[in-house]
Chain A
């Protein structure tokens, strides 16, 4: 997301710069060619925005699940709790690492990307234990019912 922000700032600055350069005070209608100025966020940059992305395959989740259960209380308390005695990670206050670990432990594919979305739409109403706001936001990504239910099952406001 930081890369995105930097790209956005760069694109905005470049766009304004092109505008300044292109406007020479002539009366003729300007020929807007701003596209090159904003073409810098190349497709190859987008994936780089998630260097920490880990996308466990569902097959991994079973093993991770066992490990999380075995290592309860170790380095990832969020994950342990989420798969333990029903304790959940706070979608409002949990760190990205905690949320991602909980999602990974629950076998959610693309846990890193989902974590980013959970973080992006904070904060969630404390009086909504069903996380309706989060559900609404995540539905925009057209996830499977199973993935959505799993994500919501390991989180709480």
Chain B
């Protein structure tokens, strides 16, 4: 394997390893939080499982179909991550009136202030951007599929087209 090509392979594997590490880390974190109170709290587990499948699809015997499926799953998990962030913000906003410091005057605060407090976790129990960890994992998966040799492409173009152009 030539030098530059070897580096590319190493980096691709490294990116996938980081994604796999992320899956494990988020799983541990969710378990420690006992993040399974109700249907909504199970969603990140589903997203995490899907992310793990996406990692495996890219890492083990990648084919064009498997890579495209991994991308499809990754995009779905990105949506789950975005929903998670939104859900956490909504939960914090909903919990605003319960806060000892801000609850009493909650209704008198402007909408912008209330949402700011919810986003910044000034009120509420939910870590706003924790679900974005899922997004990071699948972005790594997507990165690992860019110009993947199994896609049979050279320089972003189908290999057959490149070879035809070369004559």
Residues on A facing B (Cβ under 8 Å):
1, 4-5, 8-9, 11-12, 14-16, 18-20, 22-23, 25, 27-30, 32, 34-35, 37-39, 41, 43, 46-47, 49, 55, 109-110, 113-114, 117, 120-121, 140-145, 147
Contacts and interface: CB of A to CB of B under 8 A. Distances in A.
Given A25-B68, A35-B82, A38-B86, A141 B95 contact: yes
A134 to B, nearest CB: 13
A51 B87 CA distance: 19
B80 interface: yes
Interface-central residue, B73, B80, B115, B124, by most chain A CB under 10 Å: B80
B83 A8 contact: yes
Given A8-B39, A12-B43, A29-B142, A143 B125 contact: no
Nearest to B99: A142
Contacts of A4: 40, 87
Given A14-B79, A110-B98, A141-B124, A5 B86 contact: no
Q: Is chain B's binding surface mostly helix, strand, loop or mixed?
A: helix
B75 A32 contact: yes
A37 B75 contact: no
B97 interface: yes
24 contacts: A8-B87, A11-B86, A14-B79, A15-B76, A15-B82, A16-B76, A23-B72, A27-B147, A28-B156, A30-B75, A38-B83, A38-B86, A41-B86, A46-B94, A47-B94, A110-B103, A120-B37, A141-B98, A141-B99, A141-B124, A141-B125, A142-B98, A143-B100, A145-B100
A78 B142 CA distance: 55
Contacts of B39: 5, 8-9
Contact of A121 (B37, B101, B146, B158): B37
Interface in B98-118: 98-101, 103-104, 115
A37 B79 contact: yes
B10 interface: no
A134 B79 CA distance: 32
A11 to B, nearest CB: 4
Nearest to A34: B79
Contacts of B43: 8, 12
B123 interface: yes
A34 B38 contact: no
A140 B73 CA distance: 33
A15 B78 contact: yes
Interface string B62-83: 0000001001111111111011
B101 A142 contact: yes
Contact of A15 (B38, B80, B115, B143): B80
